[in-house]
Amino acid sequence: MQQWTRAEWEQTRTAAKKTAFYLYTPMCGTCAVASKMMDVVEQLFPDMPLGKANLNYMEQLAYDYAIESVPCLLVTENGEITEKVYAFQSVPHLYELLKK
């Protein structure tokens, strides 16, 4: 999964029908597990733009979108955030979430 800057994410989410932006921090154990899940999800959705970013370097994004914790997955449709996921649960759960 490609690292995105905020500008890259905002440009991609307005250009694509659906996107997912995975936010994490490197010292978070739950984020490490979620990262592995997202690697699998990326293979399941080869045509969907999926990006990730270390939230430690995007403090303003956390404030602007009221990110409560990490890991966090921001799902957008037609440029608007439709889901803010904190409980990744499982790959099948994420697959169903992104498939709808």
Task: Return the ∠ at Cα 24 (arms to 22 and 26), rounded to 5°.
Answer: 140
pTM score, two decimals? Answer: 0.94
| Alpha helices, H only, 1-100 | 6-15, 29-44, 59-64, 91-99
What residues are paired with 85 via a beta bridge? 73
Domain of 49 in residue numbering reads as 2-99
| Per-residue tens of pLDDT for the chain, all 100 residues | 899 999 999 999 999 999 999 999 999 999 999 999 999 999 999 999 999 999 999 999 999 999 999 999 999 999 999 999 999 999 999 999 999 8
Domain count, the chain: 1
The CATH number linked to 46 is 3.40.30.10
54 Cβ contact partners less than 8 Å away, ≥ 6 residues apart: 3, 24, 25, 26
Q: What is the model's pLDDT at position 100?
A: 85
